[in-house]
Structure 1
Amino acid sequence: MKLATDLPDTPILRELMQLLHEEIGLPEHKTISLKTAINADLGCNGTDAQHLMEALEERFGLELADYDAYRYFQPAGNDPHLKRKAKGREGKVPLTIGMLYAAIRSGHWDTQSLEA
């Protein structure tokens, strides 16, 4: 994996990158930066996304009370609602490595501030 030169060299970010590598894999051919979206750029969705968020919660003690998986990820398995393009499910918000890093540093998921 190639890391962008402007990535902060902190223990938290190194551990986050290791977790991302373990849970979803990081491509060898793409340069990974804080702006890399794990859903749009790395294809993380469904069960992989669920496992990743659970691992973040467990490993970093991240409080996910304000987190809504449907904002970022397609659901796992066969969801009949996707065929109807139910409100809020057609376009997903990019969930970036920078957003995960900021959430871990603050200890909780605050959708409004992370997406700003």
Structure 2
Amino acid sequence: MKILSFDDFLKIDIRTGTIIDVQPFPEARKPAWKLTIDLGPEIGIRKSSAQITDLYTVDDLINRQVACVVNLAPRQIGPFISEVLTLGFPDSQNKVVLAIPERKLPNGRKIF
């Protein structure tokens, strides 16, 4: 484990967002969804590739609020550009469980 300073942590911009669209991503090496996420008026609408097909269907994801890192450089994943990192944790079988706010929040709220 690498120890970061608090100033390093403050460089990571984690925001709340609501998934507004979910599309299959058959070109991905591992099963994934293409997510469209509303991150509020300051950040806007962004796209993310998420390997969460084991635990989440399209119906599970639409209108679900998630936590995203919004200040990473875009990442090319096959033919898709992922603009934000949707956060999650591996369960005991290494399936991704989304990191979600405990209560509904306005989109774009920053973690502190």
Whose helix proportion is higher, 1 or 2? 1
TM-score (norm 2): 0.22
TM-score (norm 1): 0.22
